Amino acid sequence: MWPSRNRTETVTCLACGDQVPRSMAREYDKYGDRWDREDKAFEHLCKSCHGDLCHHPRDELEELLVELDAGETGQDAFLYGYLSTVEERYGTLEER
């Protein structure tokens, strides 16, 4: 497969902010569907930050974070709301 001519040589890691060569980065799609490439602009992670990620499924996580105003409220208030909402919807960890 031929490389795309419109790709940049370097990308910025969304986690640490480092500039890295595209070949040393991993594509990140916050919706978890990196295979559907039509009309998409991907973000990137350097290999080190990508390795630090939890690679478990994150169904409904993005919607929950938006619903709970992640980044808009203080950390204590957000964490309290997050834990309360997760327990209410999915039960406690001990129940599993």
More confident residue, 69 or 53: 69
- Answer yes or no: is 4 within a domain: no
One domain for residues 71 and 37: no
- Answer yes or no: is 30 within a domain: yes
pLDDT tens-digit map of 1-56: 555 555 668 999 999 999 999 999 998 877 666 677 777 778 899 999 988 887 77
Question: What gap in Å lies between CA 62 and CA 64, rounded to an integer?
Answer: 5
pTM (predicted TM-score): 0.50
pLDDT band at 59 (very low <50, low <70, confident <90, very high): confident
- Answer yes or no: is 45 within a domain: yes
Number of structural domains the chain divides into? 2
- Residue range(s) defining the domain that contains residue 82: 61-95
- Answer yes or no: is 1 within a domain: no
One domain for residues 66 and 43: no
More confident residue, 85 or 59: 85
pLDDT for position 67: 93
- Answer yes or no: is 43 within a domain: yes
